[in-house]
Amino acid sequence: MTNTITPEFRFRRLRRTSVLRDLVRQPTISTDDLILPLFIEEGITEPLAISSMPGVVRYPEDQLAGAVQRAWSKGIKAVLLFGVSRHKDSIGSDTWADDGLMARCIRSAKKAQPEMVVISDNCFCEYTDHGHCGVLCEGSHEGVDVDNDATLANLQKQAVVAARAGVDMIAPSTMIDGMVAAIREGLDEAGYSHIPIMSYSTKFASAFYGPFRDAVDSTFKGTRSTYQMDPANSREALAESMQDELEGADILMVKPGIAYLDIIAAVRANSQRPLAVYQVSGEYAMIKAGAAAGVIDEEAIVMEIMTAFKRAGCDLVITYFAEAIADWLKP
């Protein structure tokens, strides 16, 4: 008789068929989890391809409606709007004009698909001639810095204009201290207490953002390290999100994604609020480059990363792959 070692429990029993694996899969991905970023540029008549982000374009204003309707038809229920302004100044004032690009895009998206959750990215980098996320101040020993409190006042005006235009959710991405409290106060005082805030609550000064600057035609030069987070600081990262929760954020966010799964897990362990992750432009571009080179399977890699985000604790994923994922999920 041959001596054998018999495991007391065989994990492989529940991996034997695809149906069994589906039954016991822990995090799952659906179109309900996805938020699609859209770029809209003033003054163009045809979609403009973004060379560093294959498959992503800047839409003319008159084609935004079609992009929103197409996303809805695929089962995507939320879009995040980024304007590419041709009316830039030192403070981003076009964003608090009722006839400015941000407000026009919100109205167009809501008219095209009233049920779609339309989210405005609330920042100034696409609307300032210097490309920073707010009002510049003097005196930084590193050359350029953003005036925290002056920027808060402008964020309040911007958020109220977005709400007046019909936005469903405000998403402040400036990483300015006190931004959630200021926006909440501004919205409430203007009669928009029902509008939720999805805060970019832990946003790192990351090298993964490079292609995004092409996407929004940014004039930015230098560093945002004085207001965005040091990628090394995990304790501070958690504190940033917890502070935004205290200030009234309805949804928290970690940005970027794949290099910060530990931060996602830490925020999830310390908060019961819905949690989003932004799979940013550099992450997208690397996957596209690898797939184009034939060294990875794009669909398999993307879905594995989506699962990693959900496993780490995310409820929502902002991703340029949203439409592709919706197609892959079709039975």
Q: Which residues are catalytic?
A: 203, 255
Q: How far apart are CA 111 and CA 92, in angstroms?
A: 25
Q: How far apart are CA 36 and CA 80, in angstroms?
A: 6
Q: Is 273 exposed, middle or buried (0-12, 13-18, 19+ CB in 10 A)?
A: buried
Whole-number Cα distances in Å, 11 to 4, 8, 23, 26, 311? 18, 10, 14, 15, 19
Q: Is 38 exposed, middle or buried (0-12, 13-18, 19+ CB in 10 A)?
A: buried
User: Within 13 Å, how many C-alpha atoms sit on residue 326's CB side?
Assistant: 21
From 65, 14, 72, 73, select the one nearest 40 (Cα to Cα): 65
